[in-house]
Structure 1
Amino acid sequence: MKSNLRNEIKSYIVRSGYTMQEVVDRLSEDYGWSDSVSNLSNKLQRESLRYVETVQLADALGYDIIWGPRKSETLVGRGGAVK
């Protein structure tokens, strides 16, 4: 699963027309991130990107993260699956 998430985020970077260096430069300028490509790559590899960093990365790429209900009717709550 790890490589799937990393590859998904990298695919958004490519589809946005940016290189990793360009994304890191934007994140560094806009949000004070490290200007190291290896730092971002390591975070993606380890899946250690915090939520706020994910939102900032999406913003740098021109995306919004939108929360919406699942298409499935089954919800999982504290007591288990509920229909």
Structure 2
Amino acid sequence: MTIKDEIKAKIISKGWTIKDVAAELEKRYNSSYSPENLSNKLRRGTIKYQEVKDIADIIGYKIEWIKKQ
């Protein structure tokens, strides 16, 4: 599964849409953030790590780094 597919699957599984997430990102960043912009970043693989962390927070996840055993 690609990162794009993984993020989209997590968004959908929590009952959100790309449009809803983009609207929340727009509020957080206090700037224009369209669903098309988000979809394009996911498709191209140019999404920033901070944006991924914010998306996770919006939909109720937390990203943690766990050391391999």
Report the TM-score when normalising by structure 1. 0.74
Cα deviation, 1:9-62, whole Å, max 9, x if unaligned, reads 000000110111111111111233533111000100111111111111111111
- Once superposed, what is the RMSD of the aligned Cα atoms? 1.5
- Shift >2 Å, 4+ stretches: 30-35
Partner of 1:13: 11
- Higher gyration radius (CA): 1
% same residue: 38
Report the TM-score when normalising by structure 2. 0.87
Gaps of 5+ in 1: 72-83
Pick 1 or 2: higher relative contact order, CA cutoff 8 A, min separation 6. Answer: 2
Normalized per residue, the structure richer in strand is 1
CA contact (8 A) 1:31 1:56 kept: no
Count of aligned residue pairs for this structure pair: 69
